Amino acid sequence: MGHDENYYLAVQYQLLADYYKYSDPQQYIYFYSMHINHLQKWIATIKPVPKRDDPSNNSAQLRILHASPGTMAVDVHINNNPILKDLRYTNSSRYLDILPTSNQIEVIQNGQKLITGTLQAISNMSYTIAIAGIKDDLQLIPIKDDSTIPKSESKLRFWHLSPDAPSVDIAVKKGDVVFSDIPYSGISDYLGLTPMTVDLEIRVAGTKDIVLPLNRVSLKPDVAYTMVAVGLVKNSPPLEAIFLAP
């Protein structure tokens, strides 16, 4: 019996089963069993369609951070698609799903393209790209993010995005250095920490000179933090620290 014939018989037996459904239960059961029988035969003849990978399961994730002091709000296009509008200084986007391939990133302001870059993304990886530097010398600086963390612990890293600041150390207030000699655009490794509230300070690398005090930094359990220095030491907007989590 052919592929199509089983299909048509399954349809006919379904119609007959529906006809007898309320008037003759015995006939209904017979025709419905025949319907199922031919339906199964028809399904058995269908060649399975190869499964395609679900892009949502294999996508990468990208977050955009506006860290360019003096640059007004911008729009961001990814692979020629407008993704973000009016992203303002010190603000970051949520994570966006992107293709695990070479992605073109364009930063646009009032219809003018300010900078273009590419990110070679890998499946199931998370990234942050900072729009950094001053407007006349913009950079797109990518980093990899890692939100994995032991249960009930926290972790912290430092990202230096202040274009006129020297290399810096991050230290406990009046205490030991936690991250040492981080240059502009550099990022430290993650440091695993017990959740706490702590006073920190940003110092000129290798000295006790405090560039920025960071009082009452709260590190909560099960969160991976990226502390980012943005702004300018010698001009406005002033140096400040913002926190990305994760």
- Cβ neighbours of residue 48 closer than 8 Å, sequence gap 6 or more: none
**pLDDT score recorded for residue 1:** 54
Domain 51-145 and domain 148-246 have a common topology: yes
pLDDT digits (tens, 9 = 90+) for 51-99: 444 444 589 999 999 999 999 999 999 999 999 999 999 999 999 999 9
Structure tokens at 154: 């926290």
In this structure, whether the domain defined by 51-145 belongs to CATH 1.50.10.10 is answered with no
For 148-246, the fitting CATH number among 1.10.10, 3.40.30, 2.60.40, 3.30.70 is 2.60.40
Contact 62, 28 (CB under 8 A): no
* Residue whose tokens read 């006919």: 12
Give the type of residue at 36. I
- Backbone dihedral region for residue 108 (phi beyond 0: left; psi -120 to 50: alpha; all else: beta): beta
**pLDDT score recorded for residue 50:** 47
**pLDDT score recorded for residue 34:** 80
**pLDDT score recorded for residue 13:** 82
Q: In what order do the strands lie in the sheet with 139-145?
A: 96-98, 60-66, 126-132, 139-145
- Cβ neighbours of residue 187 closer than 8 Å, sequence gap 6 or more: 143, 157, 158, 159, 160, 226
pLDDT digits (tens, 9 = 90+) for 222-232: 999 999 999 99
The residue-averaged pLDDT of 116-123 equals: 96
**pLDDT score recorded for residue 130:** 98
Length of the chain: 246
H or E stretch covering 38: helix 25-44
**pLDDT score recorded for residue 51:** 46
Contact 3, 42 (CB under 8 A): yes
Percent of the chain with pLDDT over 70: 93
pLDDT confidence bin for 14, thresholds 50/70/90: confident
**pLDDT score recorded for residue 17:** 77
Delimit the domains of the chain by residue range.
3-44, 51-145, 148-246
How many angstroms separate the CA atoms of 121 and 33, rounded?
52
Lowest mean pLDDT, pick from 20-24, 106-110, 135-139, 166-170 = 20-24
pLDDT digits (tens, 9 = 90+) for 141-165: 999 999 999 889 999 999 999 999 9
Q: Report pTM.
A: 0.76
